[in-house]
Structure 1
């Protein structure tokens, strides 16, 4: 008898009959809500209890999420949104989830992330963003996540990373950056990450001669397990094994200033330089920056004779005062002179 009651109670819990705030078609137990693999294309967020600590929404067909979807779920510690078709996320989507420790956003179609998306998640320890279509990341995206220990950005299309992206993540232990389109890394990117134990950067497009700063940092990390290769001087090799002495880092020549574009009045000066100090080598590196710059120049006021220079056989001036604009200008000058004479007389 007791056994049958226990079985009925267990089945009832799985169905969510005894759990307040359990959405239909989901399974709930205690403070865990499992809505995974239900083919949902939207979530009835009013049905998710505010006491929920673990919420599974993975394996559905979610394309967008409404603003404030999780605003009442202030006790969330684990949220799984993996394997949907999310393209964008609303700004402030997780702003009320300050207890969140683990967040899965992998295997979606995210191209960009809102600036400050994780700014309220100060207790976040694990963040998974793998297998999306991220091209860039906002500056300071992880600056508030000082407890972050594991970050997965594997298999995106990242071309560059912002300077100081991980500067506040001093507890970071595992970082996946593999299978992106990174050619180089910002100088000092991992300077603050002395607790990093695993760093995976395979299947990028790293140029060996642009990884000198990283190699110097990585060679001083005694607890680091590292995976990553680069290409340079016609060879592909582990970054840490590449001999950087063969790299030629091209530089700019001194600026050459042109003369002012006019002989009087306002004009423009163009500065040019060439990438030949030293010139690029066969590794394909180029000088960073612009080849030209422009600035304004102002010479002495043009003399009156320049503005009334003769032109053609009819001796018509450029600023012919006999045409309509010239007559108007002459009339204004006369009116101004009359006012000045009246003022001087007084």
Structure 2
């Protein structure tokens, strides 16, 4: 009786061991095991075992995009010779969040229509340093960042941004954009846009009707001569404004155009100004180097009447940094300037 019992227990134990081994073999196929994914990693690319959702195909002299496995979220294809972007490569890549296609040879005609809009989870699209002549369209409404710097873009298709309510950053700097590129509806729909970069283009005017939520606006290295009155009235969140290397003159600046309560950093270097424009009491950094300013009158430029001896710091103008070098101003720093801007930490003349 005892012998039979032990034999039965032994059989159960051995059977259990075999069953457990079988389960463990199946469990070994977990999504973070390198050997499990090795067979579906494109031969031209690298699939890091510590980052199974990423696919590195950069710097491989690729001329076309290989088929992207369905598990991939982050795709690196920069520094190749890719000329076309076709839907075939992305048929299974429905979960892509990040695509880096910088520094290739992609043309606008080489992008198959709808290839990006089909990627419903895409958040970041980088297409810098290519051969694009227009902003690709249509784009996925999920997109949060679109980087198109250093292309040959002259055209922004009508309505391309109309449904892109999630886009927070749009970079179009160093292209061939002109005043005629933009209409009053070009940026309509970009309700979440916080950073807009249109520097190093061929603008002679400020672009029309920018999104109200923009916090950082870059317009350096254009040929802008004037800013319309009340231009910034609707941009109630603007913090950082850069207009360096343009053709702004005193006549082109309405009296209170920069009296923007949200603005903290204003850059107007390398223009043709002969006097310091009126600023807000809240401004903290002002760059006016390399203009044609020959004198500074602290009483005139002070955004409030010159404060008396006893005044709370919170009521003083907030300017902390003032750059005036490269003008025709000679030291010393005027005393009334220091009386007004008592929080100044640096003045460069």
Among 252, 272, 288, the alignment partner of 1:231 is: 272
Secondary structure of 1:47's counterpart equals: helix
Deviation sequence 1:251-285 (CA, Å, 0-9, x none): xxxxxxxxxxxxxxxxxxxxxxxxxxxxxxxxxxx
The answer (yes or no) to whether the contact 1:26–1:34 under 8 Å persists in 2 is no
Q: Return 139-148 or 17-26, whichever deviates more.
A: 17-26
Q: Which residue of structure 2 aligns with residue 296 of structure 1?
A: none
Deviation sequence 1:45-75 (CA, Å, 0-9, x none): 2222222111111110012223222131121
Deviation sequence 1:136-191 (CA, Å, 0-9, x none): 2222211210110111111111122344x21xx23211110000011112322211
Among 91, 100, 104, the alignment partner of 1:56 is: 100
The answer (yes or no) to whether the contact 2:162–2:188 under 8 Å persists in 1 is yes
Q: Which residue of structure 2 aligns with residue 337 of structure 1?
A: none
- State the 1:29 CA deviation: 6.6
RMSD: 3.4
What is the TM-score of this pair, normalised by structure 2?
0.58
CA distance in 2 between partners of 1:25 and 1:131 (Å): 32
Secondary structure of 1:231's counterpart equals: coil
Secondary structure of 2:272's counterpart equals: strand
Counterpart check, 1:117 vs 2:163: no
Structure 1 residues 11 and 182: alpha-carbon distance in aligned structure 2, compared to 1, 3 A threshold: farther
- State the 1:220 CA deviation: 4.0
The answer (yes or no) to whether the contact 2:71–2:95 under 8 Å persists in 1 is no
Among 19, 42, 48, the alignment partner of 2:84 is: 42
Structure 1 residues 152 and 78: alpha-carbon distance in aligned structure 2, compared to 1, 3 A threshold: same
**1:300-315 paired onto structure 2 within 5 Å:** none
Counterpart check, 1:85 vs 2:85: no
What is the TM-score of this pair, normalised by structure 1?
0.58
Structure whose residues are more often strand by fraction = 1
The answer (yes or no) to whether the contact 1:114–1:138 under 8 Å persists in 2 is no
Any unmatched runs of 5+ in structure 2? 1-27, 58-64, 276-289, 301-349
